[in-house]
Amino acid sequence: DAGVTQSPTHLIKTRGQQVTLRCSPKSGHDTVSWYQQALGQGPQFIFQYYEEEERQRGNFPDRFSGHQYPNYSSELNVNALLLGDSALYLCASSLVGLTQYFGPGTRLTVL
Amino acid sequence: SQELEQSPQSLIVQEGKNLTINCTSSKTLYGLYWYKQKYGEGLIFLMMLQKGGEEKSHEKITAKLDEKKQQSSLHITASQPSHAGIYLCGAAMNRDDKIIFGKGTRLHILP
């Protein structure tokens, strides 16, 4: 049984560009949450998707958007990249109301 | 707003020694999670505590939640090099809620 998978593993972009990160949830899970983890910090909640709708959102600007597909996979899009967007982006999946399981993350570097 | 304090920030212990990591919330929790993270990688789920006074164990790791559901401790017995990494506590205030994380405790094990 595959766990949560994320792609790509690493990504380098320049300021102003746009990026799309992808996440495939653990089999049987219907909820996907995205987190941003800056160096030396704990993960910060970006948003959560359930039934293809954004159900909760953390304190992130509108430059951060997402999508969930009918097969429960999800994308995180970030527009107009800033240097401060450099971080490890983590996807977590869960069956609604239960424990969140995390993927390996995507390391985004903005130059 | 909800805050989660972890202590200590960093811990260096001799292999074979016991250690404890603490996590304190400013508010009563719905659930308290413990995750482990290898540097730059995804989070590995360890345990979730929900009931006041609850205690769970997995191999040599034991986690407890106090009666008021505002404090938790993670205890490792007879530490091994494989225990090294970052330990993160996370809190959910409601069912289906986002997880708010502490900044983590960096554990180093000396051979």
Q: Which pLDDT belongs to residue B94?
A: 84
- Contact check, Cβ <8 Å, B42/A102: yes
Contact B35, B87 (CB under 8 A): yes
Residues of chain B neighbouring A6 (CB-CB closer than 8 A):
42
- Contact check, Cβ <8 Å, A45/B100: yes
Q: DSSP 3-state assignment of A36?
A: strand
Average pLDDT over residues B41-48: 94
pLDDT of A59 above 90: yes
Residue among A44, A99, A107 whose CB faces B48 most closely: A99
Query: How far is residue B110's CA from residue B93's CA, in Å, rounded to a whole number?
Result: 37
pLDDT in tens, A90-110: 999 998 778 999 999 999 999
Average pLDDT over residues A75-84: 98
pLDDT in tens, B59-79: 899 999 998 889 999 999 999
pLDDT in tens, A15-58: 999 999 999 999 999 999 999 999 999 999 999 999 999 999 99
Q: Which pLDDT belongs to residue B71?
A: 93
- Contact check, Cβ <8 Å, A102/B100: no
